Every structure is written in C-alpha cells, then in structure tokens.
Amino acid sequence: MRTIKGPAIFLAQYMGNAAPFDTLDTIADWAAGLGYVGLQIPTWDPRVIDLKRAAKSKAYCDDWRAGLAAKGLQPTELSTHLQGQLVAVHPAYDELFDGFADPSVRGNPKGRTKWAIEQVKLCLKASQNLGLTAMATFSGALAWPFLYPWPQRPAGLVEEAFKELARRWLPILDYAEECGVDCAYEVHPGEDLFDGATVERFLTEVKGHSRAQLLYDPSHFVLQQLDYLHYLDLYHDRIKIFHVKDAEFRPNGRGGVYGGYLGWADRAGRFRSLGDGQIDFKAIFSKLAQYDYPGWAVVEWECALKDNVQGAKEGAEFVKSMIIQTAKKSFDDFAASGIDAKKNRRLLGL
C-alpha cells in the first residue's frame, strides 16, 4: 500500500487579478505558506502556464517545474476541465459554453470542437514533458438535456450520444497512450459521465481504453445521492485523481436533488468547505489506502458559504489530518510462526 501524496490544491478557484493570486510565482508562495506541497494547474489560465509552449518545449517545462520545486512544491496534474467540456457540447448550451473557447472559434461549434480537441492534446503533451502521469478533464455532454426520461426518449438516442462521444474521444485517448498520460474524467453533473452507469456506457464504447480513467470527487455524488464509498469499491482501479471537496444534502418539503433553480446557498444539496459537510472522509481515505491509490489528495474549494481563503487555509490542515501513513508490516507479525509445511499438514489433519 502507498501513502497518499498531499496536501495539494487546485488553483482554478483562486486565480484572479489581485495579488497574490495573479501570477504563478505569488500564488505558489501563498499556497506553500499554507502548507501545501502540490498544485493542480488550470491550463486555460496563461498566468500559471503557457500551454502551447509547455507542449513544445521540454526546457520550458524543466524551468517551470524547477521554479515550483524551489518553493517546495510539485505540479500534481494539469487540468483541461473547460477545454474537455467543449469536446462535446449540445446545441442548447452553445452560447453558454462559448465563453470557455478562444474568441476565434466562438459562434462556430465545429471550429470550437476542433480547437478543444487540440487543446486537450497540447495538455497531454505538456503533461508528458512535465513528467506527469494523469490529466484532469471533463467528458463534455451531448445527452445531458435528455437526463430525465420525459418526454419519453426516442429509442437509440442515448446510445447514439455515447457512440458520438466515443468517436470524439478515441483519437485523444490514443494520443494519450502515445504520451503515457491518462485522461482522468471528473464524474460530474452536466457531463455525459456523471455516475457509474454512464462511466460504464462510455468505457464500453471506447472498448475499455486503458487511458480512459477517472477523477474522484465525492461531493458530486452526495448531491446525486449516490453511494460514494461503494463507488470506490466498483471503480478504484481507474481512479487516478482525487478532489477533496465536501458537500451536504438536506432535503425538505420545498427542495431536493434537482435544486428548484435556487442559488447555491439555498439548495438542499450544496458544496461546503472541508469539514463543514457530511462526507465521511476518514472512510474515503481508508479505502483509497486499501486500494493503493497512486496519486494526490487535491483540495478543491467550492463552498456556498465560506470564503475561499479560509477554506484553503483549513483545507491544508484537514487533508494532513486525513492522510494515512500506510503500515509497513502487519499488526500481528509479532505472533507469526513462520512457514512449516509439515506442521500445516498436521493442523489440516493430513
């Protein structure tokens, strides 16, 4: 068993125009000062990484990584959540998601998809140049508007959506194999991969591709009322990235899983800072240790109530308290009697 690495923090919710959140150098100092030892990097933000340059230049990556190392930090993974989302977009969301894309392809769904696929491939190459083994991403979604089966869905609609999703991702997954980097999909509402059943559909369509892996974030399962511990039992062998994010679900006579179009603070299901929600992280960290999870514990702050800076400060200490230093020997080794084949046969009456 391996000890989980961490604590790390995802910078997506922290980058901004004011110091110390406006450059990689200053935000790295800030994170290190809170006790973080790893950073997950949002590749759509040029303030933290030049993605094209990182994909083309190993020297740039070596210097970039050395700058973090000087502060006691490592990159955990690069993220293409926004670009991955744009690999597959239903027309209902064209205008809403256009803001994620380069201005040159806005209003051009086919051009936007092509741009997004190229961005994801750049990130895979950059990950390889940085010596990283997994990339965080979203799958995108074609079937999401048809989530609830009313009106009744036409036969074959969902199947065709997943076939098309696979057609778009298979060339990316093959390129990921060339780079030696996993695509770790965050299972998330709004994506076609939002629970275990949809993950299985996708894996069937990509023929179990070895680079189609998973990002585990239990907060999204609380809001869906999905068993996030059993999910680990089912899919632990594909989990390569772990977002440590808390959530709570408190339904009442006015609201439940679907949220009633309420703001985050008023929904029955809402994200919370670490320790303020309902998730059993002791059980999660125990299962990840049991299943030999190979990666990092990455804090992702998305709280409806608490300030993100307070959440970051508390999050580092929370993760430190949860990481299990895995045992190097069995607790009952003191009673071991060694192997005695003749004795074993006697004990079995043989």
| Domains, in order of start, for the chain | 5-347 (3.20.20.150)
Q: ∠ CA(64), CA(68), CA(74), 5° rounding?
A: 105
- Count CA atoms closer than 13 A to 199's CA, side-chain side: 21
- Quote the tokens at residue 288: 């990840």
Per-residue pLDDT of the chain (350 residues; tens, 9 = 90+): 789 999 999 999 999 999 999 999 999 999 999 999 999 999 999 999 999 999 999 999 999 999 999 999 999 999 999 999 999 999 999 999 999 999 999 999 999 999 999 999 999 999 999 999 999 999 999 999 999 999 999 999 999 999 999 999 999 999 999 999 999 999 999 999 999 999 999 999 999 999 999 999 999 999 999 999 999 999 999 999 999 999 999 999 999 999 999 999 999 999 999 999 999 999 999 999 999 999 999 999 999 999 999 999 999 999 999 999 987 776 666 567 778 899 999 999 99
DSSP bridge pairs for 134: 182
- Quote the tokens at residue 165: 């999703």
Give the span between the Cα atoms of 24 and 41, in whole angstroms. Answer: 10
Q: ∠ CA(217), CA(141), CA(249), 5° rounding?
A: 40
Q: Which amino acid is at 270?
A: R
Q: Are 78 and 136 in contact (CB under 8 A)?
A: yes
* Residues near 238 by beta carbon (within 8 Å), at least 6 away in sequence: 212, 213, 214
Predicted TM-score of the model (pTM): 0.95
